[in-house]
């Protein structure tokens, strides 16, 4: 005779987690991602510039980022995150180090924090556009 075990509480939690994950993967997350346009940092006049960006879904603000960017020709030497309202996307703040290292906005976003990464990159782009010659 074969005995069948019924899943205990742990098995039910695991199954619930798997079902939730599958539903997210199947339906997808329709989150807004704004395109980032690369800016040649050497064309930005020296100075300090402030920029911001809101990632919206409908009328709801999902993520907000405000930065201050220091340009000392011919490069960006510092980026300060003034404000970052992100929920769970705090790890996206690492994207600032990527920009400084690459001297470019064309960097990878932080896995698991794509919307927050894009908001920060868009805020940096907004700041740099103010100093274009």
pLDDT tens digits for 77-89?
999 999 999 888 8
Q: CB-based contacts of 22: which residues, under 8 Å, 6+ apart?
A: none
| Omega cis (within 30) before 74 | yes
- Residue among 42, 19, 32 nearest 118 (CA): 32
Q: Using pLDDT thresholds of 50, 70 and 90, give the confidence band for residue 19.
A: very low
What integer pLDDT is reported at residue 62 of this predicted model? 87
Predicted structure pTM score: 0.75
56 beta partners: 61
In angstroms, the CA 47 to CA 71 distance is: 5
What's the mean per-residue pLDDT of the chain? Answer: 83
Higher pLDDT, 23 or 2: 2
**38 with 105: CB under 8 angstroms?**
yes
pLDDT at 105: 97
* pLDDT over threshold 50, residue 28: no
Mark residue 47 as left, alpha or beta (left: phi above 0; alpha: psi -120 to 50; beta: remaining).
left
- Looking at per-residue pLDDT, the higher value among 22 and 39 belongs to 39
Q: What is the pLDDT of residue 23?
A: 37
Starting at the edge strand that comes first in sequence, how are the strands of the sheet with 75-85 ordered? 47-57, 60-72, 75-85
CB 32 within 8 A of CB 57: yes
């Amino acid at each position: 005779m074969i005995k069948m075990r019924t899943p205990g509480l742990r098995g039910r939690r695991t199954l619930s987690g798997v079902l939730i994950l599958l539903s997210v993967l199947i339906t997808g997350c329709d989150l807004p991602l704004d395109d980032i346009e690369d800016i040649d940092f050497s064309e930005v006049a020296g100075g300090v510039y402030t920029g911001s960006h809101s990632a919206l879904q409908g009328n709801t603000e999902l993520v907000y980022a405000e930065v201050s960017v220091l340009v000392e020709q011919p490069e960006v030497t510092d980026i300060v995150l003034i404000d970052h309202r992100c929920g769970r996307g705090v790890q996206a703040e690492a994207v600032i180090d990527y920009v400084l290292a690459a001297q470019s906005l064309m960097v990878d976003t932080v896995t698991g924090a794509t919307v927050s990464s894009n908001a920060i990159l868009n805020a940096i782009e907004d700041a740099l556009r103010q100093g274009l010659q």
